[in-house]
Amino acid sequence: MYTIILDDNKEYAIIKELKINDVIYTLFSEVEDPTNICYRKIVTENNEDFYERLNDENEFDLVSMEFAKKLLEENK
Amino acid sequence: MRVNDTYDEDTLVRIVNKAQHRNEIVDRTISQGESSTKTRIPVKGKRKNKENKIVINKRVFTTGVVAIGLVASLLGVDIGSKLQKASTINSKYNAELKSAQEKLIDNNLAFLNEKGELKINDNTSARDYANIATADFTFVDASCYYDLIDYREMDKLVQNIEIFNDKGHYYTDFNQYCRINGVIDSNGYPNYSMLYNLAKKEIAQSLNESTFIDENETYYDTNIGGRSQ
């Protein structure tokens, strides 16, 4: 599995990536406590990709809904 | 299990608890007003973790993420609620459509050709549809069969259906069926869109009344009560 230390200095496992409206979002789960999950989006600047927090709850709701739909589909 | 749960007090408490969990995830996810450049982490910083033998339980994550989605919808994210409901209704409709196709084949009214297309047999009669147009024939049935067969076959089919509140009298043709049931456009012609909408409304009502029971349905079961894991 791939992991990364995010901006809260905790190590997260990369669970799933999903492209929504041409933006790639990633679902993470904390290594120490897998029930702690969060999302980041990938932004590109100067040809380098970065994980960045979401802008607001509207974006969060959209992303969580799309991940939920995707995971529901996969678990049918 | 029933497709639709009622939201009793206990369920609502659990939903609120999930909502609190949602807030934690929101806090870990959304920018907190600081400069966005501070929260950027280079993607190239990820590494293959060979030491940790963490077993990521997919169902747990499905549960968590789906819970977020459901809670978001229940707490007023209208689009989520609509998507879920529409998805469930479409799923039900497709199941009914498949069932209708199987009935046509089972009753020797149709067959699947080599391309998998449904073809109606020649020389069918109204009597041949007797097993299909049963007493509890619904708008869902009408819409599904109209999806599968043409006008002439629909004429034969509805000749087996008694006109509501007019025992002993049967529809003469599909046009009359639509006219009597108000499924017509402003010119008095059968309107498929109206029929399809009535079918979807019928399914939605069935879901709301919990009369639609499907052992494989997972829509409302996924997480509202935090049950299944």
B26 touches chain A (CB under 8 A): yes
The residue of A29, A37, A58 whose CB has the most chain B CBs within 10 angstroms, and thus the best one to mutate to test that interface, is A37
Q: What is the pTM of this model?
A: 0.46
Pairing type for strands B47-48 and B41-42 reads unpaired
* pLDDT of res. B106: 93
* pLDDT of res. B209: 60
- Cβ <8 Å between B46 and A4: yes
* pLDDT of res. A12: 85
**Nearest residue of chain B to residue A25 (CA atoms):** B29
Place of tokens 């019928």: B202
Task: Look at A2 and B222; give whichever has higher pLDDT.
Answer: A2
- Cβ <8 Å between A54 and B29: yes
CA distance B146 to B26: 47
CA distance B200 to B130: 25
CA distance A12 to A4: 5
Q: Where is mean pLDDT largest: A21-25, A59-63, B12-16, B189-193?
A: A21-25
Q: Do B207 and B3 touch, CB atoms closer than 8 A?
A: yes
* pLDDT of res. A14: 84
B203 touches chain A (CB under 8 A): no
Task: Look at A4 and B86; give whichever has higher pLDDT.
Answer: A4
ipTM for the predicted complex: 0.87
- Cβ <8 Å between B61 and A75: no
A20 touches chain B (CB under 8 A): no
Running along chain B, 229 residues long, what does each successive block of 10 average in pLDDT?
38 52 80 63 79 49 60 49 64 88 93 88 92 86 92 93 77 91 85 87 76 37 27
What are the Cα distances from residue B199, in Å, to B135, B145, B203?
Answer: 17, 12, 6
- Cβ <8 Å between A71 and B31: no
- Is pLDDT above 60 for A7? yes
